[in-house]
Chains A and B, each alone.
Chain A
Amino acid sequence: MADDKKDIDAVSGVETTGHEWDGIKELNNPLPRWWLWTFYATIVWTIGYTIAYPAWPGITGATAGVLGWSSRGQLAEEMDAARAEQAVYLSRIEQADVNAIAADPELVQFAVAGGSSAFKVYCVQCHGSGAAGGEGYPNLNDDDWSWGGTLEDIAWTIRHGIRHEPDLDTRFNDMPAYGRDQILDRDQISDVAWYVRQMSGQEYDEEAAARGAETFEIECSACHGIDGEGVPELGGPRLNDAIWLYGGSHAEIVAQINNPQQGVMPAWGDRLGETTVKQLAVYVHQLGGGQ
């Protein structure tokens, strides 16, 4: 393109760019005007935008922008707004006791939603996402409560934990290790286990169970009740039902009498605060087994 003469395409009468590929020339058609003006407008917009908002990168960070906007700040604002909306209900929950909360449908709705989300963060590790528990971890859907299933009982258990020794109000009991500490001999333990199976409506050895009944009355009934109906005040689990925390076979019952497993649950009161504890209690209570 050494010469200055414009190269005009013969067919269209339009100037070419001078670029040519195998005889095909590129026409230098002008951009549509509306497109061009839009393009200029975006450039003008950019100037204002980069002054107003964080834009130009520097060594330690970008320019802050005169409006002072930041995505982190926006998130904080949105979180504050959400907290402000929740605060109305949270302050009502803070002031009411659990029974009063359960009597107010609006608060129940809020507490169940809040309790459900707290449960999924703090509780599902042991109790499962559906609160159905597992071996050694209680199912919270059923109607069997070692430490009581009223709203207040549940709230207390969450607040102070179970066998969580730093908390002086924690739920605490300690079943003796009848086998390990040689309080009962092997046969006695086996007999008691048969008797426990009898009272829970399972297959059992009649003679052994009859022998075990005497031992049960002496050694076990104080905590588990005369008929194995449980003593929630002491955390003595009910035995005459279909629910077993550590299994209901003869061998599993023998193992538990020999050397009891004793579950531990942390105290959540200090960590989560009273409003969250109340919401969790309301949530757990409405899972189906609350008393």
Chain B
Amino acid sequence: MLDQTAVEKLDVEAVNKGAKQNAQPLYAARQKVHPKRAEGTYRRLKWIIMAVTLGIYYITPWLRWDRGPHAPDQAVLIDMANRRFYFFFVEIWPQEFIYIAGLLVMAGVGLFLITSVVGRAWCGYTCPQTVWTDLFLVIERFFEGDRNARIRLDKEPWTGSKIAKKLAKHATWLVIAVATGGAWIFYFADAPTLAYNFATGQAPFIAYATVAVLTATTYVFGGIMREQVCIYMCPWPRIQAAMLDENSLVVTYNDWRGEPRMRGQKKAKAQGLLPGDCVDCNACVAVCPTGIDIRDGQQLECITCALCIDACDAVMDKVGHERGLISYATLADYNHNMRVAMGGENSGAIDPSNVRDQNGNFVDAIRGFKWREMLRLRTIIYTAAWAAIGIALLIALGTRDRLEVNVLHDRNPVFTTLSDGSIRNGYTVKILNMVAEPRTITLTLDGLPGATMAINGIDAEPGTTFDIPVEPDKLRPLRVFVSQPRDMVAPGSTPFSFIVEEGEAGETDIYNANFEAPE
């Protein structure tokens, strides 16, 4: 039944093995990790996620969105120079940055939620460091072959073919790195225009500098530093422990069915030994991009990319065991099964006879993952918070004003006495037309008996109502002088309102100001 010969024991050492690291001096040189190609469910999922995330990153700036003649037609645009942020049908002014802040809070809470349910899924699947490293590994494999070929190549003396392979690899990496840096700048300006200017040397210096820096970071992080970024630079591995609990799904080596691991299981059985499922082939170690042995248990270095699951499942298929020797499992289930395997004790040796019955099936006491475990107070609170912020943002976005008025009262002088004894106050009234079409806004002075206003630069008799043309998507500041006749002036401070109205859309906004007069 068991075809042991089909499974080769790989000559591989976990270079970032925890126990080994502790004995090392602090400043050990990095040992290169040569991850082997894995095949399976999670690898396929990762290919899809890689295609989607890279696709979003590279294609988004080129999407167009018609906003009429007075606004840019780029679907996603961070227009720093004009202080506008465009996202498809949404346009954000700087004072509306709360929407971005809300999105960031949602991203944060979302990360907590995902982590509390499936551990470091962000690290293993969607983190740019992981995605680009994966992409760079594809290039590396294309030119240099898989793990063993690469190890051989690295040991070889520098021949023409080795130089050619290495050159080709690094050149391709650089091209990808330039494309990565290049795509970033298109989010900040009209992409086709900037692409043309960039190619013809007319783009601003900052564009070239940004591309240079991002090219360097992509090349260095994705090609050279790789797992060191995760292990030594990234704070997330240190923070994530607070997000996980005993019901979070994490990539787990199930000792309770794997141990005692041994090779030559037929021979062992003939000698009366009872082996676990692990055939000690090291396939899980060979595919690991961070160079650890998952069988050592939960480790800071593990980004839960799940490639060891794929590798192990393939081996389990070959040797005829159930899949899932390495699997997504919760600590609670794992601890429970460990107790079963150790005969109900909390410590001791694992006895495979506690785990399987005589027919080779798992005993009833062995527990698997149940979807219900995802519904916990913690995940429900995270989901509720996430959804509440999202709904609040949507409501705010749906009901927000596209016409606003802000008023600054002159402080020096607070008021001026005119020849006829009337009192005049000066204001800077700012009318914000936040739509991409020109509009005529009616500015009305309300609630100040007898008072009229005059506006600098607008030739009209003083009155209480003015029609102010405002350019599309612009703020128009006005110097407004409000005068109240002598016999109507109340001493001290009198509240009144500036009202702006727009007829067609029926929008209106009110600013409650004060009129100051001598006490």
A residues within 8 Å of B by Cβ?
12, 14, 29-30, 32-33, 105, 108, 128-132, 139, 141-144, 201, 238, 241-243, 286, 288-289
Contacts and interface: CB of A to CB of B under 8 A. Distances in A.
A287 to B, nearest CB: 8
B421 A105 contact: no
A29 B419 contact: no
A14 B417 contact: no
A288 B486 CA distance: 17
Nearest to A242: B421
Contact of B416 (A12, A32, A105, A132): A132
16 contacts: A12-B25, A29-B27, A30-B27, A105-B457, A129-B412, A130-B413, A132-B412, A141-B426, A142-B417, A143-B418, A243-B418, A288-B416, A288-B424, A288-B426, A288-B481, A289-B416
B456 interface: yes
Given A132-B412, A139-B416, A242-B486, 10 more contacts: A14-B25, A29-B25, A131-B413, A132-B416, A139-B413, A139-B417, A141-B426, A238-B419, A241-B419, A288-B481
A286 B416 contact: no
B26 interface: yes
Interface string B413-453: 10011111100101000000000000000000000000000
Given A132-B413, A132-B416, A286-B479, A32 B27 contact: yes
Contacts of A132: 412-413, 416
Contacts of A143: 418-419
Contacts of B456: 286
Contacts of B26: 29
A141 B417 CA distance: 9
Nearest to B481: A288
Nearest to B486: A242
Nearest to A30: B27
Contacts of A129: 412
Contacts of A33: 27
Closest 3 CB pairs of A and B: A130-B412, A241-B419, A132-B413
Contact of B421 (A29, A131, A201, A238): A201
Contacts of B426: 141, 288
A144 B410 CA distance: 20
Contacts of B419: 142-144, 238, 241-243
A146 to B, nearest CB: 12
Contacts of B417: 139, 142, 242-243
Contacts of A201: 421
Nearest to B412: A130
Given A238-B419, A288-B424, A288-B426, A141 B25 contact: no
Contacts of A32: 27
Nearest to B425: A288
Nearest to B26: A29
Q: Which of A129, A139, A142 has most chain B Cβ within 10 Å?
A: A142
Nearest to A102: B457
Given A29-B27, A30-B27, A108-B457, A141 B413 contact: yes
A32 to B, nearest CB: 5
B297 to A, nearest CB: 26
A86 B417 CA distance: 36
Contacts of B418: 142-144, 242-243, 289
Interface string B464-496: 000000000000000101000010000000000
Contacts of B412: 128-130, 132
A129 B410 CA distance: 12
A129 B412 CA distance: 7
Contacts of B457: 105, 108
Contacts of A14: 25
| Most B C-beta atoms less than 10 A away, residue of A108, A139, A242 | A242
Nearest to B456: A286
A238 B417 CA distance: 14
A171 B179 CA distance: 71
Contact of A141 (B27, B416, B420): B416
Nearest to A131: B413
Nearest to A132: B413
A47 to B, nearest CB: 25
Nearest to B454: A288
A217 B479 CA distance: 42
B415 to A, nearest CB: 9
B175 to A, nearest CB: 26
Nearest to B417: A242
Nearest to B483: A288
A201 B487 CA distance: 12
Contacts of B410: 130
B487 to A, nearest CB: 11
A128 B414 CA distance: 13
Of listed A29, A108, A130, A131, residue having the most chain B CB within 10 A = A130
Nearest to B419: A241
A238 B424 CA distance: 19
Contact of A142 (B27, B411, B416): B416
Contacts of B413: 130-132, 139, 141
A144 B422 CA distance: 12
Contacts of B424: 141-142, 288
A289 B416 CA distance: 10
B25 A242 contact: no
Nearest to B424: A288
Contacts of A241: 419-421
B413 to A, nearest CB: 4
A105 B476 CA distance: 13
A127 to B, nearest CB: 11
For A33, A108, A143, A238, which residue has the most chain B Cβ atoms within 10 angstroms?
A143
